[in-house]
Amino acid sequence: MIDTINFKLNNVSKYPLTRTQYEATTRTGETHVFIDEDTGETVENTKIRAILHHDSDSLIPLSKRSKLFIASSHYSVSYFYNITSDFISFDLSIPKYMYGTNIVQFIKYFSQDSNTTFDALNDFVKSFTHKHFLDVIDPLDIELTRLDLCYNQFFNSKFDSLKYLNEQKELLKKFARNTKNDYRSYDTSLVYITKRYSFKIYHKGTEFQKNDRRQLMLKNPTGHDINELQEISDKILRYEVTFRKAQIDYLFEQNNLHVQYVSFLKNERSRKSMRQLNRQFYDRSIEFCEQSKHYVFSPIAQHEAINSQTVTFDRTIFACMFNYFWETVTKYQLKQRMSVYDVLQKASQLNLKRDEATSEDFRRKLSFNLPMVVALATLSQYESLDSLRKSGLFTKSTFYRYKKQLATLGIDSESRLIDMPPPTLDYVDYKHYFGRHHLR
């Protein structure tokens, strides 16, 4: 459910042991710094940027990029230490960190709801800070900057998963064509990118073969059966939504979560009263609502939240992300196409309701031209409804009238599956293959 997390440890200077821990370099390591002879300025980017003091020939690093190597995995955690700005940023895939592969998901076995997943995330962050920092860290200094939610959908075969993906690509065009956002389609993946978030669906087996399989063949301390992982991943389509901070801000605003910190915004009367009683606090509160937030893993007082643009990353915010993710995934689920017999049966049932109705308006809405509806339903077995619209066989008004009737019967742009049952959105197949990893 949760894959990549990016978070920062702010105010590193508060933690002397941790600061020394992450500033240290290995004795066998080397840092090459190229400087201009006249100015002494760095002329090429290096792993560690530094100030060179000419009187003592000493180097003081300004930033550092490195990795934490995990003994129980082939995986390593990337981090960036900005010494000038006093923070360390960590970027990692939680399931790869824990299991060596994200075919195994970061979920709880008995429940995968929003609250359970949020609690698991909180526990992981606490465990990570305890394990990788030498000081006791104030959770107020742990700031979330990105979170990826994901789901592995299982099919009966690799063929079925890739066939389903090819049909989904047509939906991507439909959803993205009227926007300025970037969408791309590849052989085994599709990607939709906005300024706030990105969404992708890809064939997990192809991605595993290119990346994790090679790494596991070099180092496999968890003892995964690599061929089994390949066989299982070939049956998987993976959905991922990357929530950048701008998208979390957007969801925070859209769901009116400001009122947790600025209660007078609940109605116009209280807004007006606060504007008159304390205009300075009112203006500062409005500014708080309009600006980007810092999301931390700690409760925070109202005045501190407003003054520092900092809010608690709590289960309410996570629930907004969780719901948005599943709404996006659901939007790309395909339905099975109806046979001509099914169309006739359903249309006849609706026409029967029409004949029994007393309302003239209701009777008019349920009037179906059976020959035309059946013809369109039959054509839709070979071409998408959008392709039929572009074919020129019908006038625009006629097409949309019959498209509405088809939708009433349950036939729409998502009705694209012919010879496979629609896959489920649950964890039954996942538990069959990987449940043992969650019951240890």
- Examine the pLDDT at 303 and tell me if it is beyond 50: yes
pLDDT level of residue 276 (50, 70, 90 thresholds): confident
Residue 75 tokens, joined: 């995986």
Report DSSP letters for 80-149, one per residue. Answer: EEETTTTEEEEEEEHHHHHHSSSSS-S--SS--SHHHHHHHHHHHHHHHHHHH-SSPPPGGGEEEEEEEE
pLDDT in tens, 321-330: 999 999 999 9
- Examine the pLDDT at 122 and tell me if it is beyond 80: yes
Task: Give the pLDDT confidence score for residue 119 in this predicted structure.
Answer: 96
pLDDT in tens, 24-60: 765 444 444 444 444 444 444 444 556 655 665 565 5
Which of 23, 1, 175, 181 has its CA nearest to residue 88? 23
Indicate the pTM of the whole model: 0.80
- Angle at which helices 245-254 and 315-331 pack, to 10 degrees? 100
Task: Give the pLDDT confidence score for residue 35 in this predicted structure.
Answer: 46
Task: Give the pLDDT confidence score for residue 404 in this predicted structure.
Answer: 74
Task: Give the pLDDT confidence score for residue 72 in this predicted structure.
Answer: 62
Task: Give the pLDDT confidence score for residue 231 in this predicted structure.
Answer: 96
Where is average pLDDT lowest: 51-65, 113-127, 230-244, 397-411? 51-65
Quote the strand ranges of 392-433, DSSP E. Answer: 415-417
Where is average pLDDT lowest: 114-118, 249-253, 313-317, 332-336? 332-336
Which of 194, 241, 2, 211 has its CA nearest to residue 98? 2
What is the pLDDT of the chain when averaged over all its residues? 82
- Examine the pLDDT at 70 and tell me if it is beyond 60: yes
Identify whether the C-beta of residue 143 lies closer than 8 Å to the C-beta of residue 295. Answer: yes
pLDDT level of residue 403 (50, 70, 90 thresholds): confident
Identify whether the C-beta of residue 63 lies closer than 8 Å to the C-beta of residue 84. Answer: yes
If one compares 196 and 366, the residue with the highest pLDDT of the two is 196
pLDDT level of residue 265 (50, 70, 90 thresholds): confident
Identify whether the C-beta of residue 225 lies closer than 8 Å to the C-beta of residue 436. Answer: no
If one compares 410 and 162, the residue with the highest pLDDT of the two is 162
Report DSSP letters for 199-252, one per residue. Answer: EEEEEHHHHHHHTHHHHHHH--TT---HHHHHHHHTTEEEEEEEEEHHHHHHHH
Identify whether the C-beta of residue 354 lies closer than 8 Å to the C-beta of residue 362. Answer: yes
- Examine the pLDDT at 376 and tell me if it is beyond 60: yes
Residue 353 tokens, joined: 């309701």
Task: Give the pLDDT confidence score for residue 31 in this predicted structure.
Answer: 42
What average pLDDT does range 80-109 have in this prediction?
92
pLDDT level of residue 311 (50, 70, 90 thresholds): very high
Task: Report the percentage of the chain scoring pLDDT > 90.
Answer: 45
Task: Give the pLDDT confidence score for residue 91 in this predicted structure.
Answer: 94
Where is average pLDDT lowest: 176-190, 330-344, 364-378? 364-378
Backbone angles phi, psi at 238, to 5 degrees: -110, 135
* Residue 64 half-sphere exposure toward CB, CA atoms < 13 A: 21
Backbone angles phi, psi at 112, to 5 degrees: -125, 25
pLDDT in tens, 207-263: 999 988 988 898 888 889 999 999 999 999 999 999 999 999 999 999 989 888 988
Task: Report the percentage of the chain scoring pLDDT > 70.
Answer: 76
pLDDT level of residue 366 (50, 70, 90 thresholds): low
Task: Give the pLDDT confidence score for residue 420 in this predicted structure.
Answer: 76
Identify whether the C-beta of residue 389 lies closer than 8 Å to the C-beta of residue 174. Answer: no
